[in-house]
Amino acid sequence: MQTDYVLGVDIGGTHIRAGLVDNCFQLSDFVIHSSPSILADQPMANIIAFIRDYCARHLEHQLPLAISIGFPSTLSKDRQMLLNTPNIGGLNQIPVVRELKAAFQTEILINRDVNLLVYYDMHVLDIEPQAMTTAFYFGTGLGNAISINGELLVGKNGVAAELGHIPMPDNNRICGCGNVGCIETLASGRHLEEIRDSFFPDCKIADLFRYHAQSVQLNRFVDHMAIPVATEVNIIDPDYVILGGGILQMNGFPYEAFLERIKERIRAPYPRANIAILRAHQEQNNGVVGAGIYAHRTLQKKEPISCVLH
């Protein structure tokens, strides 16, 4: 027996979040757990066990209308298989949809976690689906998503919008993707930790900008963050730019200076003079609600229902 809810799941390297999302995109029964405690050893078997336990506890053993999951991975174009998950072991070349359908007789949907974040942010920021929107999420890595006419850009192989992997000259750092010189190695949380360890070892990572925002090292870091954003804006001339991720939420992060550095690198007079930059809503449940939005829209094949999200 099925309910009218979608089970949204957001899988990250640190936490797994899940909740039930109705067709007005309201969230209930939200839970958050440590990823290592669930993903160790046999991650797919443990994900299945986690979902089964969630349904037992919150749906009285009924099945949700769909199970929609965001992974920090590259996916096949048909959104059936995980190709590569650099920060979680055991989730490479996994036919996730096939395995989950064998375990649960309901609709199974998977996508990049960052794509589900942009579904959420476009909804809460009241961005019309027809708009061309590009979103940037600066966290452990650099996430990017592009929405055109209500559809996320996927690409020939399913791995479009991997902006963190544009090459930077004179950058010899090895990226998690295996290439050398990716911008993500200079504009991500991983590099911020390297800066702290090398130059400010007595400072907590959360307070790095609070006490050292004017340092040469952090000024250069913010410059590197601005480069990929301006690059993509110059290429596609979007209606909206969304900026988010945990780095932007850090104490003392120089957000206004970040905006200025983006704008000074955008071509004048246009698109610089007419660029619309919005700040993402940073909540623990964003990816879960985004997973629900993605599932309801996919199942209904129509525009999102106009409901207020609390």
Mean pLDDT over the full length of the chain: 92
Q: What is the pLDDT of residues 101-129, one digit of tens each?
A: 999 999 999 999 999 999 999 999 999 98
Report the pLDDT averaged over residues 43-57: 95
**Common-topology check for domains 6-116+284-300 and 128-279:** yes
Domain assignments of the chain as residue spans, ordered by start = 6-116+284-300, 128-279
Q: Which of the four CATH numbers 3.30.450.20, 3.30.420.40, 3.30.1360.200, 3.30.70.1150 does domain 128-279 have?
A: 3.30.420.40
Q: What is the pLDDT of residues 89-99, one digit of tens each?
A: 888 999 999 99
* Helix (H), strand (E), coil (C) string for the chain: CECCCEEEEEECCCEEEEEEECCCCCEEEEEEEEHHHHHCCCHHHHHHHHHHHHHHHHCCCCECCEEEEEECCEECCCCCCEEECCCCCCCCCECHHHHHHHHCCCEEEEEEHHHHHHHHHHHHCCCCCCCCEEEEEECCCEEEEEEECCEECCCCCCCCCCHHHCECCCCCCECCCCCECEHHHCCCHHHHHHHHHHHCCCCCHHHHHHHHCCCHHHHHHHHHHHHHHHHHHHHHCCCEEEEECHHHHCCCCCHHHHHHHHHHHCCCCCCHHHCCEEECCCCCCHHHHHHHHHHHHHHHCCCCCCCCCC
Q: What is the pLDDT of residue 141?
A: 87
6-116+284-300 adopts what CATH topology? Nucleotidyltransferase; domain 5 (3.30.420)
